């Protein structure tokens, strides 16, 4: 092969690699296997090695990172990179809309908005001359940013060459570099194993990765970029923001699938609420939506305030993270005797809920995060999970903060504590520790368990303290006179609680199994066991070998189930439950599991049943319900009236079905 032929070959390989890279990282729909892609790539590397004079800066081989820099250069943005003014409520969004009308001198009908999620990452600008990526920078102070060209080159969704059909002479693309949640988790797990400090959230991890002097480190992080606008452009005329987004897509940029053109404020409000719901299922973090006036001439008429334009606004979601001060650290003793350190906080609103306690998980976490009494900390709430302390704001330390040491005795019963090998938890060894007993009974009576309405923690606490009950089965022998010994217990309340106890005697088997509090048996395994064994008596008789045979049960879990049913104390509680009238499930020989091996994700409200009912029914038929969409999802169930979310959900993995369909299936 002569040089001319090599040049031709190299060009073809680059084109093919760029295209397949685009299919994979931008469209998320590859056309060839990873192995085939690697073969193309290796061929290019080999040719470029033989003909180093043919290597160009925009070759796909240049994504691997270069030699470390001493420091970053600076880049002056040709057009100021603005920030966004914020709206926190619907009212404030409507105020924004009113200003658009007043300053723009337009009516409601003349305004169109482009809306997209507000990505929580790092803003960057990418300059392309004649289709080649030449320089990339961070936003910096809006006027001057840092030159992170080498780092941005390593990001697979950043095109190094634009698709040729419509390449302008010059374009400055703007967007956000992000790290997916799942990649963030994996990165932190790896760092934990290596004993490195963890990132507090995906945004910090993304920003830290882009601002690396060593681009090889950036290359090792699976970053992503969403393009959301442009700076300067030469050689192409565009009149609306939506045209810009379509154009960016054609050039090969990754544009978010939820970007939409909307015509009325009520559509925008609906979009906000849909995104608020949908964000839980997205693998990247969004902290609001961005609303931009579509028409450029109207944008120009509206102009800018000091730092932000009058034609755009960020309508934020309620924050999931806040900072506050740790007043004290206490220890909570759980159902299994595990001692959990808990931070008592200066109350703070997080995502619309006041948070005054946050878990510190265990001794190792406490040490790793180095949380001290008096520290300023970042707390986080995600959905229904218990709030947690994410990180300490070390710059706020004044030297008076106190280190907390885990106690060597149980704070509730005074028994010694132990930490078993390979376990993160320190446990209380007291066999009659009242804390464990109370938590145990609370778990037994909770919604996912026997579902005894009205039996809250305070009441259970009193029942235990007054000696009315000493295990869950005692509940079924309570009398009204017993109830009257509790504080503030009237006739009606006592009767209601006794009625709910009686009603709870015929639970679905899976909930009965869950309520027993067998170590390592959560909601899902409880359903598996119910399906597999059909009754408590069968489960009780199961040998260790028989348990391990069940597909989803590993040796550790099998051991803890087996041990549970060997313990004479547990067996006597089971007998007492039976005597108290609790039904242990009938023997069922053939179980009908048509949904076996299928994974469902439920989103939005269903109209004919609650989500937990739907979940229970799907699981009874052998299916699995998972909280978020992944490669393993078979069906995404969208409730009735999904509005404009349906086309969005359609681009997610898995098949979309609506409520009536899933009802048909179950
Ligand atoms: S448009 C003037 N769209 O928000 C409009 N910005 O506060 C300029 N951001 O630093 C930005 N997602 O990094 C726009 N979909 C989106 C965005 C977005 C996140 C960030 C951007 C900027 C900050 C402005």
- Residue 624 belongs to a domain with what CATH number? 3.40.50.10190
Atom of ligand 1 minimally distant from the CA of 309: 2
Q: Distance, CA 94 to ligand 1 centroid (Å)?
A: 20
Which residue among 79, 228, 253, 258 is best mutated to probe the pocket of ligand 1, counting the most ligand atoms within 8 A of its Cβ? 228
Q: How remote is the CA of residue 83 from the centroid of ligand 1, in Å?
A: 7
Domain contains 591: no
Residue 409 maps to a domain: no
Beta strands, E only, 141-285: 144-146, 170-179, 223-234, 260-262
Of 320-329, 356-365, 580-589, give the lowest mean pLDDT range.
580-589
Do 556 and 604 lie in one domain? The reply is no
Which residue from 279, 282, 240 is spatially nearest to 262, judged by alpha carbons? 240
Q: What atom of ligand 1 comes closest to residue 289's alpha carbon?
A: 15
Atom 15, ligand 1: residue with shortest CA distance: 118
311 and 332 share one domain:
no
- The residue with tokens 């420091």 is 71
Mean pLDDT, rounded, for 17-46? 93
Check whether residue 14 and residue 158 sit in a common domain: no
Q: State the pLDDT at residue 651.
A: 59
Check residue 646 and give its pLDDT: 55
Q: Is residue 68 part of a domain?
A: no
The answer on pLDDT for 645 being more than 70 is no
Taking the centre of ligand 1 as the mean of its atom positions, its distance from the CA of residue 463, in whole angstroms, is 55
- Inform me whether the pLDDT recorded for 7 exceeds 90: yes
Q: Is residue 410 part of a domain?
A: no
- 361 and 466 within one domain: no
User: Which residue, judged by its Cα, is nearest atom 16 of ligand 1?
Assistant: 118
Cβ atoms within 10 Å, residue 356: 14
The protein residue with its alpha carbon nearest to ligand 1, atom 18, reads: 118
Alpha carbon distance, N-terminus to C-terminus of the chain: 64
pLDDT in tens, 142-156: 999 999 999 999 999
Ligand 1 centroid to 193 CA: how many Å? 35
Residue 435 pLDDT exceeds 80: yes
Of 254, 285, 316, the one marking the end of a domain is 316
Q: What is the rounded distance in angstroms from the CA atom of residue 660 to the CA atom of residue 638?
A: 10
Mean pLDDT of the chain: 90
> What span, in angstroms and rounded, lies between the C-alpha atoms of 635 and 603?
11
How many Å apart are CA 156 and CA 224, to the nearest integer?
A: 7
Tell whether 455 and 512 lie within a shared domain.
yes
Q: Which atom of ligand 1 is nearest to the CA of 118?
A: 12
**Residue located nearest, by CA, to atom 23 of ligand 1:** 83
- Cα gap 257→249, rounded to integer Å: 10
Supply φ then ψ for residue 188, to 5 degrees: -65, -35
- Does residue 567 share a domain with residue 501? yes
Are 180 and 91 contained in the same domain?
yes
pLDDT digits (tens, 9 = 90+) for 478-521: 999 999 999 989 999 999 999 999 999 999 999 999 999 998 89
How many A from CA of 69 to the centre of ligand 1? 28
For residue 591, name the pLDDT band (cuts at 50, 70, 90): low
For residue 331, the enclosing domain spans 321-403
Q: Whose CA is nearest to atom 22 of ligand 1?
A: 83
Both 228 and 105 in one domain: the answer is: yes
Q: What's 568's domain CATH number?
A: 1.10.150.20
DSSP structure string for 340-403? EEEEEEEEEEETTEEEEEEE--SHHHHHHHT--BT-EEEEE--TTSPPEEEEE-GGG--S--B-
Q: Which two tokens stand for residue 532?
A: 């597999």
Domain tally, the chain: 5
The alpha carbon of 277 and the centre of ligand 1 are apart by a number of angstroms equal to 21
User: Count of CB atoms within 10 A of residue 192's CB?
Assistant: 13
**Residues contacting ligand 1 via CB (< 6 Å):** 82-84, 116, 118-119, 123, 139, 176, 228-229, 290, 309, 312, 314
Q: What is the CATH number of the domain that holds 343?
A: 2.40.50.140
Q: What is the atom index within ligand 1 of the atom nearest the CA of 86? A: 7
Best probe residue, ligand 1, of 290, 294, 309 (max atoms within 8 Å of C-beta):
290
Instruction: Locate the ligand 1 atom nearest the alpha carbon of residue 117 and give its number.
Output: 15
Mean pLDDT of 623-632: 79
DSSP characters for 449-460?
A: TT--TT--HHHH
Q: Is 118 a catalytic residue?
A: yes
DSSP string, 539-586: HHH--HHHHHHSTT--HHHHHHHHHHHH-HHHHHHHHHHHHTT-----
Task: Quote the ligand 1 centre to 14 CA distance (angstroms).
Answer: 32
What's the residue count for the chain? 666
Pocket test residue of 84, 284, 296 for ligand 1, highest count of atoms within 8 A of CB: 84
Angle at the Cα of 235 (from 232 to 236), degrees rounded to 5? 80
**Which of 83, 120, 259, 304 should be mutated for ligand 1, with most atoms under 8 A from CB?**
83
Distance CA 524, CA 626 (A): 10
pLDDT-derived band at 648 (thresholds 50, 70, 90) equals low
Q: What is the pLDDT at residue 215? A: 93
Could you give the percent of the chain with pLDDT greater than 90?
67
Q: What's the confidence (pLDDT) of residue 429?
A: 87
Q: Are residues 150 and 249 in the same domain?
A: yes
For ligand 1, the distance from its centroid to the CA atom of residue 217, given in whole angstroms, is 26
Among 272, 243, 241, 240, residue whose Cα is nearest residue 258: 272
Q: Contact, 523 vs 552, CB < 8 A?
A: no
As a whole number of angstroms, the distance between CA 453 and CA 446 comes to 8
Q: How confident is the model at residue 587, as a pLDDT?
A: 42
- Taking CA atoms only, the protein residue closest to ligand 1 atom 2 is 82
Q: Cα(160)–Cα(56) distance, rounded to whole angstroms?
A: 11
Residue 140 belongs to some domain of the structure: yes
Residue 492 CA to residue 486 CA, distance in Å, equals 13
| Beta-strand pair 312-316/286-293 | antiparallel
Range 98-119 average pLDDT: 96
> Does one domain contain both 366 and 458?
no
Residue 589 domain flag: no
Q: Ligand 1 centre from 138 Cα, in Å?
A: 13
Please identify, among 579, 608, 635, the residue that sits at the C-terminal boundary of a domain: 579
Q: Tell me, yes or no, whether 378 lies in a domain.
A: yes
The ligand 1 atom at the shortest distance from the C-alpha of residue 123 is: 13
Set 8, 15, 118, 249: catalytic member: 118
52: CATH: 1.10.287.610
Q: Which of 113, 115, 176, 310 to mutate to test the pocket of ligand 1 (most atoms within 8 A of CB)?
A: 176
Q: Which atom of ligand 1 is nearest to the CA of 139?
A: 10
Element (H, E) at 614: helix 611-620
**CA 568–ligand 1 middle distance (angstroms):** 62
The pLDDT value recorded for residue 569 is 87
> Does residue 489 lie in a domain region?
yes
Closest CA to 26 of 160, 141, 218: 160
Atom index in ligand 1 nearest the CA of residue 84 equals 7
Distance 312 CA to ligand 1 centre (A): 9
For residues 186 and 141, state if they share a domain: yes
Among residues 34, 62, 90, the one where a domain terminates is: 62
> How many CB atoms sit inside 10 A of residue 303's CB?
11
Condensed to tens digits (0 to 9), the pLDDT of residues 277-298 reads 999 889 999 999 999 999 999 9
Phi and psi torsions of 485, nearest 5°: -75, -10
Same domain, 285 and 194: yes
């Amino acid at each position: 092969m002569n040089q001319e032929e090599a040049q031709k070959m190299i060009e073809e390989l680059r084109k093919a690699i760029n295209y397949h890279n685009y299919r994979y990282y931008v469209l998320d729909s590859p056309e060839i296997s990873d192995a085939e892609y690697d073969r193309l790539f290796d061929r290019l590397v080999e040719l470029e090695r033989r003909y180093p004079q043919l290597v160009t800066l925009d070759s796909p081989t240049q994504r691997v990172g270069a030699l470390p820099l001493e420091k970053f250069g600076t880049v002056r943005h040709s057009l100021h990179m603005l920030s966004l003014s914020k709206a926190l409520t619907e009212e404030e969004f409507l105020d924004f809309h009113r200003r658009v009308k007043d300053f723009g001198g337009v009516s409601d009908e003349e305004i169109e908005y482009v809306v997209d999620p507000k990505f929580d990452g790092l803003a960057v600008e990418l300059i392309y001359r004649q289709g080649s990526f030449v320089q990339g920078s961070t936003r910096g102070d809006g006027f001057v940013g840092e030159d992170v060209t080498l780092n941005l080159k390593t990001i697979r969704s950043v095109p190094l060459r634009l698709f040729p059909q419509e390449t302008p002479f010059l374009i400055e693309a703007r967007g956000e570099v992000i790290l997916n949640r799942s990649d963030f988790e994996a990165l932190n797990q790896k760092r934990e194993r290596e004993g490195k400090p963890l990132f507090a959230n995906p945004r910090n991890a993304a920003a830290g990765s882009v601002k690396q002097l060593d681009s090889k480190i950036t290359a090792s992080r699976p970053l992503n970029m969403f393009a959301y606008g442009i700076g300067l452009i030469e050689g192409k005329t565009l009149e609306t923001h939506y045209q810009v987004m379509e154009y960016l897509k054609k050039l090969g940029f990754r544009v978010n699938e939820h970007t939409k053109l909307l015509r009325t404020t009520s559509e925008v409000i609906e979009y906000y609420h849909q995104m608020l719901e949908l964000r839980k299922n997205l693998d990247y973090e969004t902290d609001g939506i961005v609303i931009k006036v579509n028409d450029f001439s109207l944008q120009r008429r509206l102009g800018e305030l000091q730092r932000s334009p009058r034609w755009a606004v960020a309508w934020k979601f309620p924050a999931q993270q806040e900072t506050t001060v740790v007043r004290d650290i206490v220890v909570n003793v759980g159902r299994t005797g595990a001692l959990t350190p808990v931070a008592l906080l200066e109350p703070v609103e997080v995502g619309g809920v006041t948070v005054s306690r946050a878990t510190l998980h265990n001794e190792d976490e406490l040490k790793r995060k180095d949380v001290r009494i008096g520290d300023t900390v970042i707390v986080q709430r995600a959905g229904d999970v218990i709030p947690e302390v994410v990180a300490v704001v070390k710059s706020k330390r004044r030297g008076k903060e106190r280190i907390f040491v885990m106690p060597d005795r149980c704070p509730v019963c005074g028994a010694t504590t132990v930490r078993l090998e390979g376990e993160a938890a320190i446990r209380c060894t007291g066999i009659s520790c009242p804390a464990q007993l109370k938590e145990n009974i609370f778990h037994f009576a909770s919604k996912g368990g026997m579902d005894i309405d009205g039996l809250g923690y305070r009441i259970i606490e009193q029942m235990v303290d007054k000696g009315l009950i000493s295990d869950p089965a005692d509940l079924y022998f309570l009398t009204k006179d017993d109830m009257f010994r509790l504080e503030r217990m009237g006739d009606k309340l006592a009767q209601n609680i006794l009625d709910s106890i009686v009603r709870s005697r015929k639970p679905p088997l899976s909930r009965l199994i869950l309520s027993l509090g067998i170590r390592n048996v959560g909601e899902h395994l409880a359903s598996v066991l119910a399906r597999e064994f059909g009754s408590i008596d069968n489960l009780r008789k199961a040998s260790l070998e028989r348990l391990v045979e069940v597909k989803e049960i590993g040796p550790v879990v099998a051991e803890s189930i087996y041990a549970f049913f060997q313990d004479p104390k547990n067996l006597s509680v089971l007998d007492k439950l039976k005597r108290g009238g609790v039904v242990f499930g009938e023997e069922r020989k053939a179980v009908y599991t048509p949904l076996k091996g299928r994974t469902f994700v439920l989103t939005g409200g269903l109209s004919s049943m609650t989500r937990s009912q739907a979940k229970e029914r799907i699981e009874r038929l052998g299916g699995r319900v998972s909280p978020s969409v992944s490669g393993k999802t078979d069906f995404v169930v969208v409730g009735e009236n999904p509005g404009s979310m349906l086309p969005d959900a359609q681009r997610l993995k898995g098949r979309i079905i609506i409520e009536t369909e899933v009802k048909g299936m179950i």
